[in-house]
Structure formats: C-alpha cells, structure tokens
Amino acid sequence: MSGIAIVFMIISMLTIWGGLAVSLINLSRHPEKDDDHVIETAETAGNPSL
C-alpha cells in the first residue's frame, strides 16, 4: 500500500470509528431517564397546543 493510501485508511478509521466511539461515550454519560418520574398535572392535560 502506498503511503497516502495508508494515511487515508487511518484517517477514515479514526473519523468514522472514532465518531462512533465519541457518540457512545456521549450517550453513556447521559443515562436513560425513566418516564414515570415526569410531573403530570391535571391542569395541563387539556392543553391543546401540541
């Protein structure tokens, strides 16, 4: 393999697989929230602004 091909192989791996790793780290830092803990008030139940 030529030098430039090796360089581009490494850059591709770093950006794409690195991007996946960074995305996974970001997600793991934001744990899943539980829907049950949401405040649900009767007054807002009829709000039709959705």
Partner 1 sequence: MSTPSSTQGAPLASEKRETFSSRKLFILSAVGSAVGLGNIWRFPYVAYENGGGAFLIPYLVAILCAGIPLLFLDYSIGHRYRGSAPLAYRRANRKTEMLGWWQVLICFVIAIYYAAIIAWAAMYCWFSITKAWDKNADGAEGFFMQDFLQVSDTVGVSFDFVGRIFVPMLIVWLVTMVIMIAGVNKGISRANAVFMPLLIVMFVILVVQSVFLPGAIDGLNAFFTPNFEALQNPAVWAAAFGHIFFSLSVAFGIMVTYSSYMKRKSDLTGSGYVVAFANSGFELLAGIGVFAALGFMAHNAGSSVDDVATSGIGLAFIAFPTIVSQAPLGGLIGVLFFGSLVFAGLTSLISILEVIVAAFQDKLGWKRTPATLVVVLPVALISLILFPTTTGLYLLDTMDAFVNQFGILACALVMVIVFGAGLGMLPKLAKHMNRHSSIKLGTGWKVLVGGIGPAALGYMLINEVQSKINEPYSGYPTWFNGIFGWGMAGALIVGAVLMSLIPWGKNSKINDPEFDQHKANVNAEELPEPAGKEY
Interaction site with partner 1 (CB under 8 A): 1-2, 4-9, 11-13, 15-17, 19-20, 23-24, 26-27, 29-30, 32-35, 38-41, 44-47, 49-50
CB of 8 to partner 1, least distance (A): 3
Q: Is 19 helix (H, G, I), strand (E, B) or coil?
A: helix
CB of 46 to partner 1, least distance (A): 8
Residues near 9 by Cβ (< 8 Å), separated by ≥ 6? 1
Structure token digits, residue 34: 């539980």
CB of 18 to partner 1, least distance (A): 9
Residues near 1 by Cβ (< 8 Å), separated by ≥ 6? 9
